[in-house]
Structure 1
Amino acid sequence: MHPSKGEHILVIRLSALGDVAMLVPVLRVVTATYPQLKITLLTRAFFAPIFKDNPNISIYEADINGVHSGVFGLSRLAKDLRDLEIDAVADMHDVLRSNVLKSIFYFYGIPVKQIDKGRSEKKALTAANNKVFIQLKATHQRYADVFNELGYPIDLRLHKFPEKQKISPNTREITGTDPLKWIGVAPFAQHNSKVYPLDLMDKVLAQLNSAGKIQIFLFGGGKKEAAMLEELAAKYDRVKSLAGKLKFDEELALISNLDAMLSMDSGNAHLAAMYGVPVVTLWGVTHPYTGFKPFEQPLENCILPDLNKYPQIPTSIYGNKVPDGYEDVMRTISPDTVVVKINSVLNIT
C-alpha cells in the first residue's frame, strides 16, 4: 500500500463490546498518523456511538441476523462493500463470518490482512499443566500489527485521548450537581466466573458511600441486572443505578466524565479506558496477561484473586472454562482491598 495515495480501508470487527472498544485508540492513532486514509468500519449498529469522536471513520452497519445472515447475505454484504471502492481489508475479528467475507474479497482481488490472535500462546497460558505464565501481546497491539501489514505502521505511544464529552440534560437530572468524585461501577460480565460476588460488592459500595466523598453510578443492562442494581442502589444515598435510564451515547458521555471506573474484566472497563478514565479491574479465572488489560491502565490497577491458592489462573481467555474448585476464586479479593485501591486512584485519604 502507498499511504500518500489516500486508500480506502475496510476494518471488520463485529463484536463483542470490549473488543470493539479496544479498537478505538488504535483507530485514533491510525487516522492521526494517516489523515488522508479513509476508513470504513464494519460493525453492529449499536456500537456506532463508540466511534463518534473520530470523524475520519464511517460506520457500515452489519445486519448479521437479518439481510446479512448466512452465506448469501454475506455475499451481498461483500458486494456492497466492494462497491464502496475499498482498496484493502483489515480483519480484526477472524471468525467464520469474516473469513467468508475474506474469501469473497480475494475473489474480487481485494487484499485482506487478519489479526493474529495468538491462539497457541494463549492455549499455553491457560493450560492446566505446563502453563507458560507470561505476558502476551496486548490486543491493541495485535490490531496495530494488522495496519502494519497493510503498510500503515503506527506507534500507539502517540495516542491522544479526546476531551470529555458534554453531558445531556437528561443525564444531568440523574447525576445532580453535588461536587463529589464520580465513580462508575460495572459489577457484571458475560460469564459468572468474572463477576465479583454481589454480597462483597455490596460491602464495597457501603464503604465508598459512607465516606461521603463519592457519587457512585451503577452500570448494567437487561431486566434482571437492572432489578439487581436498583436493589443495591436503594440502600445508599450516593449510589444511583443507570440501567435502562440512558441511551448508549449518553452513557458514553457520562463515562468520559468519570473520575474512575470499577469494572470486571468486561466491556465497561474498555469503554472507560478509551477516554483515559482510571480503571480498577477485578479478575476472576481470567488474567491481564492474556492481552485484554484496558488501554494504558497500570497493571497494579488489576486486582487478582489469590494465585497461590488458585495456580491454574488463567483457566481460560474469556472466563468460560472454570475447573472444579475454582467457582469462588473472587472471594479471595477482599472488599477492603478494592476500596483502598479506589481511594488511592481517586487520591482520597
Structure 2
Amino acid sequence: MSEKPIARLAVIGLGMATRPHLDALEQLRGTVAVSGVFNRSPAKAEAVARQFGFAVFDSLEAIAADPATDGIILATPPNQRAEIVAMMTAAGKHILMEKPLERTLHAAQDIVTRCETAGVTLGVVFQHRFRAAALRLRELVNDGSLGELALVRAEIPWWRDQAYYDVPGRGTLERDGGGVLISQAIHVLDLMLSLTAPAQSVQAMTATTAMHEMETEDFATAGLRFANQAVGSVVATTATYPGAIESLVLDGTKGTAVLKGGALHVCWHDGTREELGEPSGTGGGADPMAFPCDWHRDLILDFAQAIQTGRPPAITGREALRVHALIDAITRSARTGKQVEVQKV
C-alpha cells in the first residue's frame, strides 16, 4: 500500500506558466497529490485533466469548500490574484503563488499581510533558487568563501517576439503591472537579493525599444547600492534576438563567482577554480518555457513539506517583497530620472 500524500493541492490557472508545474506534479505523484484543477476556460481544464488524470473543479468556491484540499498552486495573471487569495485564506487554504505576487508593491504587501493574518502558508515560485549551481553559490556566500561582497552584476538578455506581447493584456500595467522587470527579470533579481545585502538605493532608466509595440518596458538598466555598501548593475531586456542565457556575477574580496544559467564558475584569488553544472536554458529565447521542471519539482515538494510540518517554505511571501520593492524603486527612478531609496519591507 502506498503512503498517504503529504499534501493535496489544487491548481488554479492553466496558462503557459503551469507547464512545468504540471510536469513536476507528475513526477511527485504519490508524494504530492492533485485534488483537481480549475481554469476560467472549462475546455482547457478538461483537456489538462484528461492528459494528467486529474479531477476538475467547476468553481473557485468548490476548491475553497473542499476539505481534502490543503492548498493551491495559483498561476493566474497577476490582476486576478487578490480576489482568489481573499477566498482561499478565508477557507484556510495554503497558497503557492507564481511570481509576481501582484502588480504593485502595495498590492503585493496586501497579499502577504492577508496570508499572515489568516495564518496560512504563502510560498512564491522563484524556481531559479533551486538550481544546483545556485544552491552551491549560496553556500559560498554564506560560509564566507568569496570574502566581502564588493560588486554585483546581473544581466538578462532575453528575447520575446511581438506575438508574445500581442496576447491580450500581456505587458500591460492593468494585467501584468509592467514589462521585462516584473515578468522576466524578477527571477534573477530575486536570486540576486537572496545572496546579497538588501538593496538600498537605485539609479535607473527604462525604455520600450523598436523591437516591440507594447505599453510597458522591454529594456531596463539600473545602478544599485546595497546596505553593506557593495555596488552593482542590472541590465534586463526581452529585445535581444535570439535570446541568451542570463548571468549573475558576484565579485568578492576572495573570489569571483559567475552563475550563468545552470552553470557556476568560481575564480579564486589564489588562482584556483571551481565549476559546477551546465549552462542550461531558463526560458530566455523564443520558447519562454524551454527549461526542465526539476526546479519546480523541488520547490513544490518543499512547499508541501512546509504545509506538513508547519515550517515556513524556502521562499516566503514576506521574503518575496524584497524583489517587489527593488522593482518599484527601479520604476520610480526611471520615471523621475533621480536616484531613489528602496522601500524597506
Structure index of larger Rg: 1
Structure having the higher helix fraction is: 1
- Please, what TM-score do these two structures have when normalized by structure 1? 0.30
Structure having the higher strand fraction is: 2
Q: Which structure would you say has the larger RCO, counting Cα contacts within 8 Å and 6 or more residues apart?
A: 2
- Please, what TM-score do these two structures have when normalized by structure 2? 0.30
